[in-house]
Amino acid sequence: MFLKKLFDFLPKDPFSKGLSLFNEGELQSAADIFSTLLDHPDPEICKKARLFACEAHLQMGDNARGNDTPAALDHYHRAAVLQPNFADVQNKLGESYRLMSRHSQALEAFSAALAINPRYFAARMNLAHTHVQMDDYQSAKAELEQALPHAANYVKDSLEELLQVCETEDRTAWDGKFEQLRRQHPSEAEGRRLEALKLVQRGQPAEALRILDELLEKHSKWPDLHLLRGLALGELGQLPDAVEAFLAAIEQHPRYLKARINLGLTYMEMGQDDDARRELEFALDTDPANVLARAALEELRDLPAIR
């Protein structure tokens, strides 16, 4: 997501129009436009259209979860076709199958996620949980034993308790301890981040900031949170604070182009053209096909020498 001002001076080609719709939260319309570009002769445009179409379907799937699981599953399927090697897509597919009690398909999806990323903790736990739902405690135990050596210290005690439950095959005890573990894992924080993202997209930056400030108390090195915080502050007109937030994101991830471009745009709004040019040129040097950075630099060149 980028500051809305950027899209006012992007050329109105189909890809840029899709980006504008994506930024405005018109995800289905954006996905439809990106889908028309999947066979574009320019391989870079094709690649980026595939990525953005996948992200649009992922977000629509996340929005549908909880009230329309079949719709969520359909969006995750579409995302998986676009990016079959994204472990997160396979994990979300598995979660949807599990909610629909389609356990065999859930096992396949979680296993696919782990084949892509063997250290994907959430997928490993989801796989173990599905085995338990199928009354296969020994397979669940095997998954927990694989997860334990690489698990974060703060969840190891919970994993040990789940291993003990596998011996007793007590479903009630398992469900309680698994839910406790799920609350410990950062996946809960990811849900809160998505909530903040939606609030920014809906034009409610103050509400988003309350969530982001709370998350950053525990996850201060998460660049996506700093980026979102900068966007929210920018929407509120608190530009110096937005700059600090984007810089914090870049400190954690120096090649984070979304943060660089938004930092450059914020500098432009503040009249700090040299600083803006530095950030935008860095983004374009890193990704020469980045139409967003190129459009912003062209706008900067068209500004009066003194303003």
- Whether residue 149 is found in the same domain as residue 78: no
Please indicate, yes or no, if residue 277 is contained in any of the structural domains: yes
Alpha carbons 33 and 38: distance in angstroms, whole number: 9
Q: Specify the pLDDT at position 12.
A: 62
- Whether residue 89 is found in the same domain as residue 65: no
CB 30 within 8 A of CB 22: yes
- Whether residue 221 is found in the same domain as residue 265: yes
Q: Which residues of the chain have pLDDT under 70?
A: 1-12, 152-154, 184-188, 303-307
CA 41 remoteness from chain centre: 28
Please indicate, yes or no, if residue 27 is contained in any of the structural domains: yes
Domain boundary among 185, 220, 244: 185
- Whether residue 23 is found in the same domain as residue 12: yes
Number of domains in the chain: 3
Provide the token pair at 19.
């980006």
- Whether residue 296 is found in the same domain as residue 195: yes
96: Cβ–Cβ under 8 A, 6 or more apart, which residues?
A: 61, 65, 69, 72, 73, 76
The predicted model scores a pTM of 0.61
Q: Which residue from 6, 83, 85, 4 is spatially nearest to 47, judged by alpha carbons? A: 83
Domain boundary among 33, 62, 82: 82
Please indicate, yes or no, if residue 307 is contained in any of the structural domains: no
CB 300 within 8 A of CB 281: no
CB 256 within 8 A of CB 225: no
Domain boundary among 167, 185, 203: 185
Domain of residue 200 covers 191-301
Q: Which residue from 200, 272, 285, 292 is spatially nearest to 11, judged by alpha carbons? A: 292
Please indicate, yes or no, if residue 51 is contained in any of the structural domains: yes
Please indicate, yes or no, if residue 54 is contained in any of the structural domains: yes
Alpha carbons 205 and 235: distance in angstroms, whole number: 7
Query: Looking at the chain, how many residues does it have?
Result: 307
Q: Specify the pLDDT at position 220.
A: 85
Please indicate, yes or no, if residue 73 is contained in any of the structural domains: yes
Please indicate, yes or no, if residue 15 is contained in any of the structural domains: yes
Please indicate, yes or no, if residue 248 is contained in any of the structural domains: yes
- Whether residue 12 is found in the same domain as residue 45: yes
Q: Specify the pLDDT at position 208.
A: 96
- Whether residue 209 is found in the same domain as residue 275: yes
Which runs of consecutive H residues, i.e. helices, occur in the chain? Answer: 4-8, 14-23, 27-35, 43-64, 69-82, 87-99, 103-116, 121-133, 137-147, 153-168, 171-184, 187-201, 205-218, 223-235, 239-252, 257-269, 273-286, 291-302
pLDDT in tens, 164-181: 999 999 999 999 988 888
- Whether residue 113 is found in the same domain as residue 212: no
- Whether residue 162 is found in the same domain as residue 202: no
Q: Which residue has the tokens 């007793």?
A: 168
- Whether residue 110 is found in the same domain as residue 39: no
CATH label of the domain that carries residue 199: 1.25.40.10
- Whether residue 135 is found in the same domain as residue 153: yes
CB 243 within 8 A of CB 275: no
Q: Specify the pLDDT at position 187.
A: 60
Q: Which residue from 220, 235, 282, 218 is spatially nearest to 254, judged by alpha carbons? A: 282
- Whether residue 177 is found in the same domain as residue 125: yes
